[in-house]
Chain A
């Protein structure tokens, strides 16, 4: 085998992966770059660099309002879904009950159902019940599809929790309530937080289900969709880029701190 093909063979995967990462990031870079575009009406052609979009982000009609709406919906749905989902996860792992398969299936189906069907179904139900579409219906919808994801995330954490720890708590004179507050909950917390973050992210980015159930209420993705026809303002790119940076920083920081913590624990041991 000649040196060139051996080189390619060894590093083919590296080269491919780097190219793949670049490919994945293209739309992200595009969006961020165009948030600095000195656009007038439609943000399609590059006109010039400007920071105005960033400094006067709420000038554009509807951008900030829809963003705030998404935040409110996200927080509320996350709270509800995390609470309901955590309870189910604990029940699934720690207790015996009939209809276990049925419950598992019920939790799995929303993840497997196409969003169109979920959205249309909820809309049909609200229609039949005569409920006005708006913020409330959106929150109810988001909570519904987030529960399953919360259960999956927390369940993994509960399953990894050594039952002997809770038994030790009972053995050491802690009442059932104290066992939960002082042992179970603190140890589950990382999983619950991860579930909450996942839930928020899903809710924030949801479009299809929201579109069917929001009526006149506008979330950020819905704003983007309706604006797409005539031209999305650069300020929307600003919001999206800001969210992106916050999320990336958050992930990187948490990775670094847990790595540092692991290193510190290993060194002192």
Chain B
């Protein structure tokens, strides 16, 4: 990064074949990722999936075992953290306790010998409305204020790429909502490229233009939030982003427009273009909020799937909506979210109900149902290593 120069605008980020191994386990395996300049990108996943490691690799705080990292087209894999045009907002804020707020914010500018560092620092503090505490120490500020200072400290350097490591985790709900909006505004105002790492799927979907869901060191699916939500490709994505009702069945027949899947005796139709697998054993699903509850067996027009009868086993009120758990013989338990248009639940526990949904709302996963190991929600890379070790040990015993 040339000393004294700001980036004109955000740069794009490219990760090519990145692998990162630690002693004992592999955090990231052959990762490919492209983030276009000026976009707000979210890396979403459970803890241990490798997203923080990815962030640290981009920041230069770790070195990849193999692969290349390109920022704005330039290969920065070999450069050190302090040479990259990248800044990070840390999860713990990492404000220097022995310096004032102003000195904190001006730190990066001074290292790069930018002129008028102090004036620019004040400007950045005004952006986050904290100029009045410039001479205080970080310990004297509240969590929300510290978070904004951390943001100002990073943004003031106009980096080509801004990395955010779960920065809103320690804030309470209201403050978090507020910061989400502020972050989004700053990003679009200043035109930087943001890479936001989080395990909060709601946060990712609210703020980001593009979301990548990571699991066990790999990206499971990437795309616009709505696309990911309405058309998940794997069981992990279907279960990690919101909730899904998933069924396994055999494809009975397929036509040009749709496939018919035999699920415990019932015929469920799924649009062909929304299904990843078209033959053999498949897993299909539908979101709980897309289901309608009926207390009498409904006549089914074309373009609608029906499931039932089932018995309501649980009714759970949560303000905006109520979630109903329906036990369907042969299928297990289905979940239905219904917006509370009236006071009180629509049906009570024990009632006999049928569920319908528009065929177009269903989706088919790319997972092979025979491969049972994909279903457990456990996504920790370290437990994978333990699993493999146990498998090997068992193999050796048998031999």
With a cutoff of 8 Å between Cβ atoms, the chain B residues found around residue A178 in the complex are: 111
With a cutoff of 8 Å between Cβ atoms, the chain A residues found around residue B108 in the complex are: 172-173
Subset of 18 A-B contacts with CB under 8 Å? A164-B90, A165-B97, A167-B81, A168-B95, A169-B96, A170-B60, A170-B61, A171-B81, A171-B154, A172-B111, A172-B157, A173-B82, A173-B83, A173-B108, A174-B111, A183-B96, A187-B98, A265-B139
- Indicate if A175 sits at the interface (CB-CB under 8 A): yes
Cβ-neighbour of A173 out of B1, B59, B97, B136 (below 8 A) = B1
Number of A-B contacts (CB under 8 A): 70
Known: A164-B92, A187-B98. A171 touches B136 (CB 8 A): no
* Residues in A146-172 with C-beta less than 8 Å from chain B: 162, 164-165, 167-172
* Complex Cα gap A173–B4 (Å): 12
Q: Which residues of B contact A (CB under 8 A)?
A: 1, 59-61, 80-83, 86-88, 90-92, 94-98, 107-108, 111-112, 136-137, 139-142, 153-154, 157
With a cutoff of 8 Å between Cβ atoms, the chain A residues found around residue B97 in the complex are: 165, 187
Specify the chain A residue showing the minimal Cβ separation from B141: A269
Q: Which of B91, B97, B141 has the most C-beta atoms of chain A within 10 angstroms of its own C-beta?
A: B97
With a cutoff of 8 Å between Cβ atoms, the chain B residues found around residue A167 in the complex are: 59, 61, 81, 88, 90, 94
Min CB distance, A174 to chain B, in Å? 5
With a cutoff of 8 Å between Cβ atoms, the chain A residues found around residue B142 in the complex are: 269
* Complex Cα gap A265–B97 (Å): 12
- Indicate if A215 sits at the interface (CB-CB under 8 A): no
Min CB distance, B29 to chain A, in Å? 24
With a cutoff of 8 Å between Cβ atoms, the chain B residues found around residue A183 in the complex are: 96
Cβ-neighbour of B61 out of A162, A171, A186, A187 (below 8 A) = A171
* Complex Cα gap A38–B60 (Å): 72
With a cutoff of 8 Å between Cβ atoms, the chain B residues found around residue A169 in the complex are: 96, 107
* Complex Cα gap A175–B97 (Å): 19
Cβ-neighbour of B86 out of A164, A171, A175 (below 8 A) = A171
* Complex Cα gap A175–B108 (Å): 11
Specify the chain A residue showing the minimal Cβ separation from B153: A172
Min CB distance, A9 to chain B, in Å? 42
Known: A170-B61, A172-B87, A173-B112. A162 touches B92 (CB 8 A): yes
* Complex Cα gap A165–B139 (Å): 14
Specify the chain B residue showing the minimal Cβ separation from A179: B82
Report yes or no: A173 in contact with B61, Cβ–Cβ below 8 A.
Answer: no
Known: A167-B94, A170-B61, A183-B96. A268 touches B87 (CB 8 A): no
Min CB distance, A167 to chain B, in Å? 5
Report yes or no: A168 in contact with B90, Cβ–Cβ below 8 A.
Answer: yes
Specify the chain B residue showing the minimal Cβ separation from A170: B81
Shortest beta-carbon contacts, A-B, top 3: A172-B108, A168-B94, A269-B140
Q: Which of A171, A175, A187 has the most C-beta atoms of chain B within 10 angstroms of its own C-beta?
A: A171
* Complex Cα gap A187–B138 (Å): 14
Cβ-neighbour of B107 out of A172, A186, A187, A265 (below 8 A) = A172
* Complex Cα gap A268–B112 (Å): 32
Min CB distance, A179 to chain B, in Å? 8
Min CB distance, A160 to chain B, in Å? 11
* Complex Cα gap A28–B40 (Å): 69
Report yes or no: B59 in contact with A265, Cβ–Cβ below 8 A.
Answer: no
Min CB distance, A169 to chain B, in Å? 8
Cβ-neighbour of A170 out of B1, B80, B98, B140 (below 8 A) = B80
Report yes or no: B111 in contact with A173, Cβ–Cβ below 8 A.
Answer: yes
With a cutoff of 8 Å between Cβ atoms, the chain A residues found around residue B87 in the complex are: 171-172
Report yes or no: A168 in contact with B82, Cβ–Cβ below 8 A.
Answer: no
* Residues in A174-192 with C-beta less than 8 Å from chain B: 174-175, 178, 183, 186-187
